[in-house]
Amino acid sequence: MAVEVEQSQPTVQVTNLKFTYPGIDGHPPPGAKPLIDGLNLSLFAGNRCLLVGSNGAGKTTILKIIGGKHMVDQETVRVLGRSAFHDTALTASGDLSYLGGEWRREVAFAGYEIPIQMDVSADKMIFGVAGIDPKRRDELIKVLAIDLSWRMHKVSDGQRRRVQICMGLLKTFKVLLLDEITVDLDVLARADLLKFLKKECEERGATIIYATHIFDGLEDWPSHIVYVSQGKLQLASPMNEIKELSNLSMMRTVERWLRKERDEERLRRKERKAKGLPEHEKQVEGSRVINNGWAAGRLNSTVAGEDNFLLSSNRVLR
């Protein structure tokens, strides 16, 4: 049964986020184009937000910033009303949890990172975590169909991933950031995990942001969708609004946005070439210049639904 959740305060609030990766001297290189620019986003308890965008669009960077892994101004990113980077108790308590990236080789758990491939049983790993609700632990073991006798250095990638995900979800989170974590899971494990995560939002009022390229089985999962391109928020909308606009499946809808983005970038590149400019916009990274290919341009037209449905980047999701 769904709980009534307090909707007045956002659980995740990003205000005019601008971010450039620091160079080797620890500072953003002078003149570098920001990777994330003017991004605003508000999410509330119970929201399940799908974060989509092409490779290199900035999804991981955004999740890491919200997860407190990159320093930004205290007021720019607020999670549960606190600064994600400065208030380390947010992650230490498990209230804010990030699963992704380097976590693929290790288990990130409440601020600690544990190697995932040592000769240890799943049982030892999962039951070695203190202060866990036994009912929640049993449920996760069942949902992820974990055999507690598995030795972590001998199991398959997918089996190892199940244990890893179980560890990451043992503590009751309030805000969960998932960065493409289901890649190795079989169809059944993925479906059961998504069902569990949906329940966490509906019953406990958790907020989840999930960045993925795999849309299989996700059709009815998200309550909201956010599309980023070149570090800018192109669209943020409740799923029902997207569905009202188009009969296409979510995968086809996203495919259409990305095709449009790519076509516009190709056109932009052609125009640059015609003007005798280098085909690709260049971005400064540290002391060297990197070329981002077609992903480096700006999406400057509308993207969603029937093409004229561009949502404001200041949109608050309800």
Ligand X SMILES: Nc1ncnc2c1ncn2[C@@H]1O[C@H](COP(=O)(O)OP(=O)(O)OP(=O)(O)O)[C@@H](O)[C@H]1O
Contact residues: ligand X, CB under 6 A: 21, 35, 53, 55-61, 285, 292
Question: How many other CB atoms are found less than 10 A from the CB of residue 187?
Answer: 9
> Nearer Cβ to ligand X, position 15 or 212?
212
> Nearer Cβ to ligand X, position 55 or 149?
55
DSSP per residue over 43-63, as a string? E-TT-EEEEE--TTSSHHHHH
> Nearer Cβ to ligand X, position 58 or 205?
58
Instruction: Please report how close the Cβ of residue 212 comes to ligand X at its closest, in angstroms.
Output: 9
Rg (CA), the chain: 20
Instruction: Please report how close the Cβ of residue 161 comes to ligand X at its closest, in angstroms.
Output: 17
Instruction: Please report how close the Cβ of residue 217 comes to ligand X at its closest, in angstroms.
Output: 19
> Nearer Cβ to ligand X, position 156 or 291?
291
Q: Would you state the structure tokens that stand for residue 252, as one six-digit string?
A: 């086809």
> Nearer Cβ to ligand X, position 44 or 227?
227
Per residue in 48-77, is it b (16+ CB within 10 Å) or e — as a string? bbbbbbbebbbbbbbbbbbbbbbebeeebb
Instruction: Please report how close the Cβ of residue 35 comes to ligand X at its closest, in angstroms.
Output: 5
Instruction: Please report how close the Cβ of residue 38 comes to ligand X at its closest, in angstroms.
Output: 16
∠10-49-132 over CA atoms, to 5°? 80
Instruction: List C-alpha distances in Å: 305 to 216, 233, 257.
Output: 20, 16, 9
